[in-house]
Amino acid sequence: MNNISRIVVCDGNEAAAWGVKLSRPDVVAVYPITPQSSLVEYLSKFIADGELDAELMNVEGEHSVLSALQGACLAGARTYTATSGPGLAFMFEPYVRTPGLRLPMVASLVNRDMLSPQCVWGGQQDVMTVRDAGWIHMFCESAQEVLDTVIMAYRIAEHPEVMLPVNVNHDGNYLSYGVSRVEIPSQPVVDAFLGDKNVNWHAALDPDRPMAVDPLTGGADAEGAARFVAYRQSLCRGMQNALEVITDVHAAWRCASGRAFAPLVEEYRLEDAEIALVTIGSMSGAAKDAVDAARAAGIAAGVIRIKTFRPFPVEAVARAAGKVRALGVVDRAVSYGWNCGPVCQEVQGALYRTGRAIPVLSFIGGLAGADLTGAHFTRAIEATRQALATPPEALAPAPVWLNARDEGVLR
């Protein structure tokens, strides 16, 4: 079977739209926001051209978008939306309800930095702000990975042992508008891969079993509290089950499509590495180039790329980190109050599993659309190497700000 229908040159937003189209959603709802807007316009074109049989709702705001999709999903529809930054913030109220309702939605977050200051450019502060809302989060490095991950996301979300919404993250500007070669899988391959659609078996509009979903649950009495805790535990189980499901789905997709992506954590040139950079999203390409250059210069460096951020792959990160003696974690967001990037904070949590307190440096860059270049990563490699000789407790408890005004040559 020919698993590729065609090869196109497109940006990440169009790649996501291709992935959605092939996954055959029933209802798409959207409100325009930069840098997402063109993504759903591509979907709209597929619908207008008769290539996708879906209802597209052009509603009055993101809060309505996700509310409408909750209704659609409860009624049995496969759904899709995409948003960015402030749109995600406005979506927050239905957003936090979606995992608890166990609605297996797929939505793209075209990552954008958060206000204020006012800003319309890329950054990952939007997604990092909702990291504990209960959605699964996967981050893509290339337009091809965006397309493939959107398709995989439906199978992960709708897996009966998971039943959780998935955000497929791709960086605003660099991935949303960056153009590259993309292979489009053939429809029969995707149809076979996704199988039958069954998104609301747990809360169906079933005339034989009518029920009111989500009544008040909890309270001070022991029974109410225990019932609420049971729902929370169930959500946690779904999240932990997702680690295995995500891994299995990536393996199945490799068989179906012929393309392989690391499901949880990608290890790049980590064998015999002394230090590693930890990256997430589109920055990883430049980091790998910098590592290649460092290797050519005799420096034993590698990259640990986080693909799945929720559930956080603690074991996989610990395993990768266990191979090196120092880490430099590069974030495109800030964890206020920890004075480091959020990925850095989480990686340090995972390091606890290794029982080794190795030096970890936090680098924060790429805010508000700033470019993270090979030079930034070369500097990060150098600083991380220097940290090898520094006891962790002697490291400055502050991030290295890439793109900062005092940085001179690297701007």
Partner 1 sequence: MLDTPVLTAQDFKSDIKPIWCPGCGDYSVLTALAKACAELARPRESIALISGIGCSSRLPAYTSVYGFHGLHGRALALAAGVKLARPDLTVIAAGGDGDGLSIGGNHFLHACRRNVDMTYILMDNQVYGMTKGQASPTTAPDWCESKLTPEGTGISPVAPLLLALAAGVNFFARGFAGNPNDLARLIVAGINHPGFSIIHVLSPCVTFRAEQRAWKQAVHASDAAAPATLQTEALTRFAADDGFTTGILFAGSKPPFMPPRHAVRTAADFERDYEIACKSDSPSIGVSHLSAGPGRRGVTLPKSAIDLFNNATA
Smaller CB distance to partner 1: residue 40 or 243?
Answer: 40
Residue type present at position 126: D
Would you tell me which residues interact with partner 1 (CB under 8 A)?
Answer: 30-34, 37-38, 40-41, 44-45, 48, 56, 58, 60-61, 63, 86, 90, 115, 118
List own/partner pairs for 153-157 with CB under 8 A and 24 or more apart. Answer: 153/106, 154/23, 154/78, 154/104, 154/106, 154/194, 155/193, 155/194, 155/195, 155/249, 155/252, 156/242, 156/245, 156/246, 156/249, 157/104, 157/105, 157/106
Preceding peptide of 35 cis, ω within 30°: yes
CB of 54 to partner 1, least distance (A): 14
Rounded Cα distance between 111 and 378, Å, is: 25
Smaller CB distance to partner 1: residue 27 or 249?
Answer: 27
DSSP class of 392: G
CB of 38 to partner 1, least distance (A): 8
CB of 70 to partner 1, least distance (A): 18
Smaller CB distance to partner 1: residue 56 or 404?
Answer: 56
Smaller CB distance to partner 1: residue 37 or 186?
Answer: 37
Full DSSP string of 26-51: SEEEE---TTTHHHHHHHHHHHHTTS
CB of 45 to partner 1, least distance (A): 7
Interhelix angle 37-48/12-23, nearest 10 degrees: 40
CB of 317 to partner 1, least distance (A): 36
CB of 10 to partner 1, least distance (A): 15
Smaller CB distance to partner 1: residue 58 or 234?
Answer: 58
Handedness of CA 12, 13, 16, 17 (dihedral sign): negative
Smaller CB distance to partner 1: residue 56 or 235?
Answer: 56
CB of 16 to partner 1, least distance (A): 15
Rounded Cα distance between 171 and 185, Å, is: 22
Question: Torsions phi, psi of 360, nearest 5?
Answer: -130, 125
Rounded Cα distance between 92 and 130, Å, is: 8
Rounded Cα distance between 299 and 296, Å, is: 7
Asked whether 287 and 306 are in contact (CB, 8 A), the reply is no
CB of 174 to partner 1, least distance (A): 19
Asked whether 231 and 216 are in contact (CB, 8 A), the reply is no
Smaller CB distance to partner 1: residue 32 or 71?
Answer: 32
Smaller CB distance to partner 1: residue 43 or 329?
Answer: 43
